[in-house]
Structures are given as C-alpha cells and as structure tokens.
Amino acid sequence: MQNFINLERIEPRKRGSNQRKKDYNEIYEIFKTTEASSQSERCVQCGDPYCNSGCPLHNYIPFWLRATAKKDYELAFRLSNETNPFPEITGRICPQDRLCEGACTLQRDGYEAITIGSIETYISEYGFNKGLKPEFSKLTTNKRVAIVGSGPAGISCATFLLRAGIGVDMFEKANRAGGLLTYGIPNFKLDKEVVFRRFEWLKEAGMNLYLNSEVGKDIEFKKLLKEYDAIFIAIGAEQSKKINMANEDSDGVFLAIDFLKNIQRKYFNEEYDKRYHVANKRVVVVGGGDTAMDCIRTALREGASSVKCLYRRDLANMPGSKKEYKNALEEGADFVYLSSPKEILIDKDSKVVGLKMQKTKLSKKDESGRQRVEIVEGSDFIIETDIIIFALGFDVKKVDFLEQNGIKTNKWNEILADENRQSSQKLVFTGGDCFRGSDLAVNAASDGKIAAESIIDQLL
C-alpha cells in the first residue's frame, strides 16, 4: 500500500471519439486485474478516511481497496456489496470528482486521487464473471413492503429490506424497470443490461415487480395502505423545467428528458415518437449540466450535422462533471458560453429556424455562492438551428394521491420527511428525487437505504 509516490493515477481506457460516436456502447473499458490491484496499492489507508465521508453511502472504501491490492477480490466484492445496493452502477455513473475521489486524502495533499469509481466497477464485474452474486437472506418474516417507483431509490430500499428477510412488491408505471437509470442516463454511460441484471437478482431474492402499474391510476394508494406493513414512495422528479418563452411548443423544440427517453425507446426497439429524429439537423442544447451533455452526445450519435451547447455562465461555472464535458468536446460539440436565449425564431409553419441569444456577464455572488448572471444590453445575436433542446433541470410533479392520503409536500411538490425518511404518514417513507429534488443516483440510493433501515426498525 501507500505506493502513490511511485505509481501515477491512471484512468480506464476510453474508446476513440470517432469510433464511439457510431454506437451507444459504453465508452470506458473496465480495468484489467493488474491495473485494479496496482491502482488500489496507491491508497494511504488513512485512519480517518475522508473518501468514506465523501461517499453518500459511506462505503468501506479503504477496506475494499486493501483487499483488491492484496488480490483478495472475493473479499473486496463482499465488502463493496455490503454497503452499496449497486456498486457496479455507482462506479460507472457517480461524479466521483465531487464525491469520494474529491475527498481522497491524496487529492487534498496535492497528489492525484485514487481511481475509486473505476476500481469499484472492476470489483463487481470481476465477481459477477466469477459467478459471485449479491447475497440475500430468504424471506424470513411475514412482513411486506410496497415500493412505488423502480429507480435507484426503490432498488436500494428493496435490496436492504430483502436482506432483512422482508418481502417487497415493487410497482412501476413504465414498461421497464430502473427509472432514470433506464430511461434517462444514456447507454454509452450505463449499459442497460447492467441495470436489468440487478432486477433479476432482486426477483430471485423474492421481490415481485409489477410493471405498467401506476399507483394513483392503476392501483389505489389506499389499497397499498391497507394491504402492506409499510410503503416506500420513490417516484422521482419527472417534470422538465420549461423556459416559459414564446414559441416553446413549436416544431423542433424539445425538452431534454423527452428527447433522451424517445431515443432510448428507439434503442430498445419500442414504439417511439419520430419527431425526435435529429439526423442531418443542426441542434442546439441549452444548459450546462450533465443532462445537457447527455443530450449533446446523444444528438451526435443520432447523426446531427452540428451540435452546440449554449450556456449562460462560463466553463469554470458549468455545473456538470468535467469528465462529461470533456467527452462531449472530444465527440465534436461546440460550446458557446455567456449567452442566454431571448427568443425562439420560427417560420410560417411554426418550425424552428433559430434562436435569438443575448450576451451575458457574471457579476457578484448570490446567496448560494454562485456569480449572478447579468444581461449585456444590445448584445443580441442569432444562432440558426433546426432543433432546440432545453436541458434546464427537473421539478417534482404534483401527485394527487399524496395530499389525498395526508402525505405532506412542500411548495416544490417535494415529499416532506424526517431524517429517517418517514413522511407525515406513519409507515409511509420516501426518498430520492421526489424527496430531495432532482439530484444523483447515489443520493437516491442512500435515501432508500436509510428508509429501509427505519422500516426494519419499526417492523421487526
């Protein structure tokens, strides 16, 4: 261990940008065994590991790094799967630079952080290839919990309940499970088979998964209250933020999630809306977060003739992960900073022909610590385009069955809950994006785990 002076951090190999743009396969290779163990040897094994606090799941990172360095991959697999409901997924999609790796002692001391995420993915994939599986106990109790929503919060809650021997029925309104892991995050970041594999294990462990089952429409929430010992609500934040600008419903104006979902449906050979074809079209994406990068990289794979990202702040203030920005740049996106949309320009058939923009400048910091954006008067300019995709974030949708059943929400429709993720209704718990607002898969997983622990405390 502590080999960080002799050994540099390496990243997993990436497919070349020209090649990877031709398909939706994941772009990163998984570490080779020698790479995973030698990279793990760089770990300092600090007594009070900051990486552990940087990880929302408080994974036993130094423990599984030490096991990997000692080539005890089975132990590493078990340790990693103990605290994390899907390490092979978080290893692929967590913004590690902001979480575990950002907190790594080496990084703080001016060295390069351990490649924690890539090693985490390696450990799981190595284990699966050797026939290891996440461990579950048999259903040892007569308790049953209903989980509403099959995204990361739902998967996590189900995992920890099943491990405690509690039965789970999961209700999902879509025709495939996984929430945004399936219909939001593109396949080039997270292969969908990786997501579906987890559901097979949950079903083997005794979970019943009911697809095409919308609670509040196909199933009454009251029925769940009557029939289950507890309920976990994890219905996500599904409503794309709109820009509220004239012509926003015109032909050629898309919201990010509609675009991504339809392309994913096309990829699944499901019925999808052909309006979202962007081949040979000029595309602009408004927004600077990870969803914007996903739209850009999807549009490039769909054969758009050009893709521009328009962002009202500068590169240093872009909210998304730098890794995803770099991938988008390598794949051919252009970036226009310090510019804000003013008017959607359409032709006589109500088809988009351009976007009138205005220059911006950054001024004093606001309460959140970010610099305010000011419009530069008289700085209008036009970007000609066929397609505009707005990637401005998500809100929680107002859901009638919550209020009707005494479950309190705030003014943003987020479900209110205490630190145990218990809502204002006894034995109704919540977590993920519908509780905290649009966020990260690992935070949804952490909520699901906390809620499962609270449910276990109350039921057993």
Cα–Cα separations (whole angstroms), residue 255 to 209, 285, 288, 336: 29, 10, 14, 19
As measured in angstroms, the least distance from the Cβ of 450 to ligand FAD is 13
Q: 283 or 442: whose CB is closer to ligand SF4?
A: 442
Q: 11 or 418: whose CB is closer to ligand SF4?
A: 11
**94 is a contact residue toward ligand SF4 (CB under 6 A):** yes
**444 is a contact residue toward ligand SF4 (CB under 6 A):** no
**96 is a contact residue toward ligand SF4 (CB under 6 A):** yes
The partner in contact with residue 307, picked from ligand SF4, ligand FAD, none with C-beta cut-offs of 5 to 8 angstroms by kind, is none
Among 49, 62, 91, 152, interactor with ligand SF4 by CB under 6 A: 91
Q: 83 or 264: whose CB is closer to ligand SF4?
A: 83
The partner in contact with residue 286, picked from ligand FAD, ligand SF4, none with C-beta cut-offs of 5 to 8 angstroms by kind, is none
**304 is a contact residue toward ligand FAD (CB under 6 A):** no
Number of chain positions touching ligand FAD (CB under 6 A): 38
**290 is a contact residue toward ligand FAD (CB under 6 A):** yes
Binding range to ligand SF4, per CB under 6 A, among 93-101, 176-184, 189-197, 360-368: 93-101
The partner in contact with residue 99, picked from ligand SF4, ligand FAD, none with C-beta cut-offs of 5 to 8 angstroms by kind, is ligand SF4
192-251: contacts with ligand FAD (CB under 6 A): 214-216, 234-236
The partner in contact with residue 93, picked from ligand SF4, ligand FAD, none with C-beta cut-offs of 5 to 8 angstroms by kind, is ligand FAD
Binding range to ligand SF4, per CB under 6 A, among 96-104, 267-275, 352-360, 390-398: 96-104
148-177: contacts with ligand FAD (CB under 6 A): 148-154, 171-174
Footprint of ligand SF4 (CB under 6 A): 55, 57, 59, 61, 84, 90-91, 94, 96, 99-100, 116-117, 120, 442
